[in-house]
A and B are shown apart, each in its own frame.
Chain A
Amino acid sequence: MLQEITSTDTGCLTINVGPQHPSTHGVLHLVITLSGETILRVDPHLGYIHRSIEKMCESLSYRQFIYVTSRMDYLSSHINNHGCALCVEQALQIEVPPRAQVIRVLMDELTRMASHVLWWGAMAMDVGAITPFFHAFRERELINEIMEETCGARLTMNYMVPGGVMFDLHPNFQKRVKDFIPFFKSKLDEYDELLTHNIIFKQRTQHIGVLSREDAISYGVTGPTARASGWACDVRKRVPYECYDRLRFEEVVEQAGDCYARYLVRMGEMRQSLSLVEQLIDNIPQGDFQAKTKAVLKLPKGEFYSRVETARGEFGVYIVSEGGTTPYRIKFRSPGFSNLSALDHMARGHKIGDLVAIMGSLDLVIPDIDR
């Protein structure tokens, strides 16, 4: 599969970036055709961590398959679990208790912040600033500790189950989150000073990798990447699930469509997520954290689809059921897969150094793409 570095009569050069390359954030392999330093074509080769999760799920029960989905987008594992739980609940018409709904949204938004803050550090590192990475990991660690206390895991939480959440919140949860909110707020301002208004960073990202609104829709690009191109596609606003329709938050939309716009959208989303957590943390209803469900779940014959907004975009779960205890077919519509498909279009005509900035601004998580 690896292509040799070749130079042809046309003066074009084909090089491999990855599968082991720091800028690809995982094992992604790009075959790039260059003319001098200018990119003519980017051809992604996927599958280095393809585990065929869809095939695996065909032999797992409706309680088990959720655990595998944490291993797809490991930075949004709560939200992946959430999408799967929603799909099963929709099929079985399970009413989720209000307490569980609020806990789910809290966890989703904390996850979104943790994911975006890690992206912030990684993006800065991609374009040559090392310091932000350490800042980002410091703040992410605090969120991970909160998760660890309640869910017992830091990365693959497996906390959301059909009917609600696995356990009740840890007694320390509220206090720790309340301590975290003002701390993180001050850190966001610090991030702005470090990077947002940094002239070198702006020069590396502005007018780079421009994606128009029409192209974003045509490529099925979603999440912050699409919102930076002016497409309001947030599933939390379009088809609100859980209690999102009763919460106040703004959909951050930018128009420029370049790497810097994508940066601004994610920075804005961190503030929105923080505000969502702030609204909910003192208003967690009392009651059950899980609805009563049967030990063995059997979905009726039919097809079910649920959509949630992960940190990277629209995540879809499509279950085809034949009425048994395992799905007949599952398809995960992962946001990263579609977002990556626009990379070639965005990178053409730019210099190879800019490719790193474009990749960074897409916020790719490779297991999410490969599945």
Chain B
Amino acid sequence: MNEPQTAVDWEAVVAHAPVPVQLISGTPWPELHVEAPNWPDLAQFLRTAPELQLDYLFCLTCVDWKTHLTMVYHLNHSRQERVVVVKSQLDRDQPQIASVAGIWRTAEFHEREVFEMFGVQFLGHPDLRLLILPEGWEGRNPLRKDYEDPVNMIRL
């Protein structure tokens, strides 16, 4: 971290983005909201645009909002501090979004975790199957809010 830090003008980034993106500021880190079908184009742009080059995907997760699911991607640059949070809303009954395992390879494991815990289908994922849960848990997604399991879950 010896090189000087350069600030990113996120408004300009949003203006240059290949797909429509909504910028939310006022949060600890800037947030980009994108429609799920547009996510692969935005991901490629964030990874390759010369002023960004966000090569470090450090957190990939999902939040169940009971009416919909939200995918949350935390991206950063490997030398500069340029954290940005990308969010995308998914339909709760048929959640699907493109996989970014081809862009950031760490996504392969993280997407498998989100797949089993939330039931999100990642299109184009190289190997989408259960990672943590044992066989036979397909279709039951423990981190969803309405998940009930009388055997494995204890109410506090």
Across the interface, which residues of B come within 8 angstroms of A251, CB to CB? 1
- Answer whether A55 and B109 are a contact pair too, CB < 8 Å, given A231-B78, A304-B28: no
What is A's interface to B at a CB cutoff of 8 Å? 1, 45-47, 50, 52, 54-55, 59-60, 90, 215, 217-222, 231-233, 237-239, 251, 302-305, 314, 316, 318, 320, 328-329, 331, 333, 337-338, 340-341, 345, 370
Q: How large is the interface on B (under 10, 10 to 19, 20 to 34, 35 or more residues)?
A: 35 or more
Q: Looking across the interface, which residue of chain A has its beta carbon closest to that of B114?
A: A331
Task: Please give 15 more A-B residue pairs, beta carbons under 8 A apart, in addition to A54-B143, A237-B1, A316-B58.
Answer: A47-B132, A52-B142, A52-B143, A59-B156, A90-B28, A220-B104, A238-B1, A303-B27, A318-B59, A318-B61, A329-B143, A333-B59, A333-B74, A337-B113, A341-B108
Give Cα distance in the complex from A324 to B123, angstroms: 35
Across the interface, which residues of A come within 8 angstroms of B27, CB to CB? 302-303
- Answer whether A217 and B56 are a contact pair too, CB < 8 Å, given A304-B28, A305-B74: yes
Contact A305 B142 (CB under 8 A): no
Across the interface, which residues of B come within 8 angstroms of A1, CB to CB? 134-135
Question: Which residue among B79, B85, B132 has the maximum number of chain A CB atoms within 10 Å of its CB?
Answer: B132
- Answer whether A47 and B58 are a contact pair too, CB < 8 Å, given A59-B156, A238-B1, A305-B74: no
B133 at the interface (CB under 8 A from A): yes
Across the interface, which residues of A come within 8 angstroms of B56, CB to CB? 217, 220
Q: Can you pick out 9 interface pairs between chain A and chain B where the beta carbons lie within 8 Å of each other?
A: A215-B105, A219-B106, A232-B1, A238-B81, A305-B74, A328-B63, A329-B63, A329-B143, A341-B105
Contact A338 B109 (CB under 8 A): yes
B57 at the interface (CB under 8 A from A): yes
Across the interface, which residues of A come within 8 angstroms of B58, CB to CB? 220, 222, 314, 316, 333
Give Cα distance in the complex from A316 to B135, angstroms: 29
Q: Is the interface of B mostly helix, strand, loop or mixed?
A: loop
B36 at the interface (CB under 8 A from A): no
Contact A220 B156 (CB under 8 A): no
- Answer whether A219 and B105 are a contact pair too, CB < 8 Å, given A47-B131, A47-B133: yes
Q: Looking across the interface, which residue of chain B has its beta carbon closest to that of A341?
A: B109
Question: Which residue among B104, B109, B142, B143 has the maximum number of chain A CB atoms within 10 Å of its CB?
Answer: B109
Give Cα distance in the complex from A60 to B106, angstroms: 30
Give Cα distance in the complex from A345 to B56, angstroms: 18
- Answer whether A46 and B1 are a contact pair too, CB < 8 Å, given A59-B156, A218-B104, A220-B106: no
B35 at the interface (CB under 8 A from A): no
Q: Nearest chain A CB to B117's CB is how many angstroms away?
A: 8
Q: Nearest chain A CB to B14's CB is how many angstroms away?
A: 20
Q: Which of B126-156 contact A (CB under 8 A)?
A: 131-135, 142-143, 153, 155-156
Across the interface, which residues of A come within 8 angstroms of B104, CB to CB? 218, 220
Contact A329 B28 (CB under 8 A): no
Q: Give per-residue flags for B116-127: 1 if the beta carbon is below 8 A from chain A beta carbons, else 0.
A: 000000000000
Contact of A338 among B81, B85, B106 (CB under 8 A): B106
